[in-house]
Amino acid sequence: MKPAMETAAEENAEQSQEKKGCFECCIKCLGGVPYASLVATILCFSGVALFCGCGHVALTGTVSILEQHFSTTASDHALLSEVIQLMQYVIYGIASFFFLYGIILLAEGFYTTSAVKELHGEFKTTACGRCISGMFVFLTYVLGVAWLGVFGFSAVPVFMFYNIWSTCEVIKSLQTNMTVPGDQICVDIRQYGIIPWNAVPGKACGPILENICNTNEFYMSYHLFIVACAGAGATVIALLIYMMATTYNYAVLKFKSREDCCTKF
């Protein structure tokens, strides 16, 4: 029979060993978390959600504004309506694709980070793993360049709505100062190329333009386009983070594979 003090000491030693093992296991698991990919995934999901959700509603409001105030004949904006409807379907596809792609990139980040941290033994240097990492590096670069174009394209309606809003502010200031009649200040939507030059009326002047700026459709569409543009910018930043993370992980895996190859001899 062991003394009670020795038994208690052994139990304390076992408990401390278990706590130490649990702590080391937690540290090891936290070391395998791809924090850069995790931040990029959250930012990508947020940016794509803002771009797709706000862009879809803003396009619908834009069509309503054009039909009511700038192109009263349906045949004049029929092509534009079809293009906007097609863009809305494209938005659905973009949202679905990037939801899946973000999850895949996060999983790839877990794999490569764990491999770099040597958490999975020899699995870290397989040719298949390096090939998959290289494929994601290339695909992320391509998508990053494409989203730069999307970001630039999303800034066009913001620029157009800003010009209309600033013109309305000029009309208000002129009416306050009683200097120049506001009827002489107009906005011609036809110059942006979204409706043909024979569209009627095609432009709005003075109080009519000011009333357009005061409508809920204009206010909502303007601010939703701004948020959609910001979402596209957030997605570009997320893809840049993905680029850096995937390129670094691929480079480290490539280096480790060469190191393992050399150590075999």
pLDDT in tens, 11-46: 554 555 555 556 565 655 555 566 777 888 889 889
The pLDDT of 145-152, averaged and rounded, is 91
CA atoms within 13 A on the CB side of 51: 31
Q: Within a 10 A sphere around the Cβ of 68, how many other Cβ atoms?
A: 12
Q: Could you tell me which residues are beta bridge partners of residue 129?
A: none
Pairwise CA distance, residues 36 & 236, whole Å = 15
Comparing CA positions, the residue from 196, 212, 193, 214 lying closest to residue 204 is 212
Q: Report pLDDT digits (tens) over 212-251.
A: 888 888 999 999 999 999 999 999 999 998 888 878 777 7
- Check whether 265 has a pLDDT greater than 50: no
- CA–CA gap between residue 262 and residue 265 (Å, rounded): 6
Element (H, E) at 41: helix 35-65
Q: Write the DSSP string, the chain.
A: ---HHHHHHHHHHHHHHHHHHHHHHHHHHHHT--HHHHHHHHHHHHHHHHHHHHHHHHHHHHHHHIIIIIB-SGGGGHHHHHHHHHHHHHHHHHHHHHHHHHHHHHHHHHHHHHHHTT-SGGGGG-HHHHHHHHHHHHHHHHHHHHHHHHHHHHHHHHHHHHHHHHHHHHHHHHHHHTSS-GGG-EEEGGGGTSS-TT-SB-EEEHHHHHHHHTSHHHHHHHHHHHHHHHHHHHHHHHHHHHHHHHHHHHHHHHHHHHHHHHHT-
For 88-146, what is each residue's pLDDT tens digit?
A: 888 888 888 888 888 888 877 777 766 555 544 444 456 666 677 778 788 888 888 99
- Are 161 and 221 in contact by the 8 Å Cβ rule? The answer is yes
Confidence of residue 162 (pLDDT cuts 50, 70, 90): very high
Say what the pTM is: 0.78
Cβ atoms of 187 and 208 within 8 Å: the answer is: no
Listed by start position, the domains of the chain span 37-263
